[in-house]
Structure 1
Amino acid sequence: MKKITLIAFVLFIGLITSQAQVKVSPGIRGGLNFSTLSNVEDNSSKTDFYLGGLVNIKFNKYFSLQPEITYSRQGDEGRYFEDGRTYSEKYELNYITLGAVAKFNFGGSGFHILGGPSLDFKVDDNYINSDPENFDLAIVGGVGYTLPNGLTFEARVKQGLLDIYGYEGVDDDYYYDEIILNQVFQLGISYTFKM
C-alpha cells in the first residue's frame, strides 16, 4: 500500500510540474468596504475604502496564490441617544492587512472563487474611552471575474476572528455572543500587470 501511495504521489507531482508554467504578476487593488462590528447595539455599517498591492502567482489555468498588502479603513457607525435626540458617530479602525488568498478558476476561465487568511495590524483608531487591540486575524472568502487584460472584479466577505478588545470568552460575566468582531463586505477591482 505504501508503494502505491508513493507512486501515486510521484505521478501527481510530475503531472502538476509538467502542466505548470508559473507566472508572477504584480498588481494593485482597491475598492469599497462596508464594515460593521458584531454584537454592538444600535450600530450600522460604515462605508469606506481599501487600497493596496498584490502579487498574483499563477501556477496553472486553474489555480493561483495571491499575497496581498492592503490599507483597510474599517469600523462601524454607532448611534447614541442624548437629550431625547439620536446622534451617530463613525468609529474608525484602520488596518494594514497582510493576506494570502488562493484563487480557483472554474474551467480555466476568468470566473473564480477565493479564500484565505489575513493578519491585520491596527495603524489608527478614533476610540476615546477604550483601546482596541493592535491586531486582528481574519478569514476572507469571495468570488470574482478576471478579464483577459488583467482587470479583475471581486466581491469578498472578511470575518474577523479575534475580539477587538482581546476578550477570549472565558469570563463568567461576559458571554460568547458579546464578542465584538470585525465584519467587512468588500466590492473592488484589481489590475495585474503583464510581465
Structure 2
Amino acid sequence: MRKYIVIAFVLLIGIGSSNAQVKASPGLRGGLNISTLTNIDDNSSKTDFYIGGLVNIKFNKFFSVQPEINYSRQGDEGRYFEDGRYYTEKYELNYITLGAVAKFNFGGGGFHLLAGPSLDLKVSDNYINTKPEDFDLSFVGGVGYTLPNGLTFEARLKQGLIDIYGYDGIDDGYYYDQVILNQVFQLGISYTFKTK
C-alpha cells in the first residue's frame, strides 16, 4: 500500500510540474490571401487580406497548439462574356474563421510545421443570382519561422472541404471534380506577446 501511495505522489508531482511548464501567450496575426474557387472555368485568383488574434499554448519546446479567430476575405475573380466582349468581376466570400493549428518545432528551434482544422462562418458575399453556403470547413497546413522576440513568418495553404453551393459530389450527375471549393494561399506575420 505504501508503494502505491509513493507512486501516486510521484505522478502527481510530475503532472503538476509538467502543467507548470505549459505557457499560454496571446498574439495578433495578419497577412495576404491569394484565394480562388476550384473547378470554375475562366476564373483567376483574387488577392485580399486576413487579420485576427491567437493564443499560443506551448506545451514544450517542440509542440504547441494555437487557437485562432480571424476575419478572412476570400473568393475569386471571374470572367464572363457579354455583348461581344469579356468582363471580369471580383466575387467576395468573407468569413470569420475559428481554427486551431498544432505546431511542431524542429529541434525546439524557430522553424515549424503546422496543421489543423478551421470552421469558417460567412459574414458577407457579393453574389447576385446565387446564394453561397453560410459556412465552410477547412483544413490548414503550412510552414513558419518564429524569431526569439515572438515575431513569426508563415506560409499556409487553406483547403475548403464543403462545396460553396452545398453539393456533396454524389447527387444526380454531379461529380467530385465539379465541386466548387474555397482554396487560399496565405502569407503572413504574427506577433506573440511574452508572458511570465
**TM-score normalized by the length of structure 2:** 0.90
Distance 1:74-1:181 versus aligned 2 partners, 3 A rule: same
- Would you identify which runs of 4 or more consecutive aligned residues in structure 1 move more than 3 Å? 14-20
Pairs within 5 Å for 1:14-163: 18=18, 21-163=21-163
Alpha-carbon distance, 1:23 to partner: 1.0
Alpha-carbon distance, 1:171 to partner: 1.7
Distance 1:87-1:67 versus aligned 2 partners, 3 A rule: same
SS at match of 1:164: coil
Alpha-carbon distance, 1:175 to partner: 1.5
| Letter matched to residue 72 of structure 1 | S
> What is the rounded CA distance, in whole Å, between the counterparts of 2:99 and 2:112 in structure 1?
17
> What is the rounded CA distance, in whole Å, between the counterparts of 1:60 and 1:20 in structure 2?
11
Alpha-carbon distance, 1:18 to partner: 4.3
Percent identity over the alignment is: 81
Counterpart contact for 1:20–1:60, Cα < 8 Å = no
> What is the rounded CA distance, in whole Å, between the counterparts of 1:188 and 1:133 in structure 2?
27
> What is the rounded CA distance, in whole Å, between the counterparts of 1:156 and 1:110 in structure 2?
16
1:119-165 residue CA offsets vs partner (Å, 9 max, x unmatched): 00000000000000000000000000000000000000000000001
Pairs within 5 Å for 1:170-185: 170-185=170-185
Unaligned runs of 5+ in 2: 1-10
Unaligned runs of 5+ in 1: 1-10
Root mean square deviation of aligned Cα:
1.8
Matched with 1:7 is none
> What is the rounded CA distance, in whole Å, between the counterparts of 1:20 and 1:107 in structure 2?
22
> What is the rounded CA distance, in whole Å, between the counterparts of 1:129 and 1:186 in structure 2?
29
> What is the rounded CA distance, in whole Å, between the counterparts of 2:50 and 2:145 in structure 1?
19
Counterpart contact for 1:37–1:181, Cα < 8 Å = yes
| Letter matched to residue 117 of structure 2 | P
SS at match of 2:21: coil
Matched with 1:190 is 190
Matched with 1:6 is none
Alpha-carbon distance, 1:90 to partner: 0.2
Q: Which has the larger radius of gyration?
A: 2
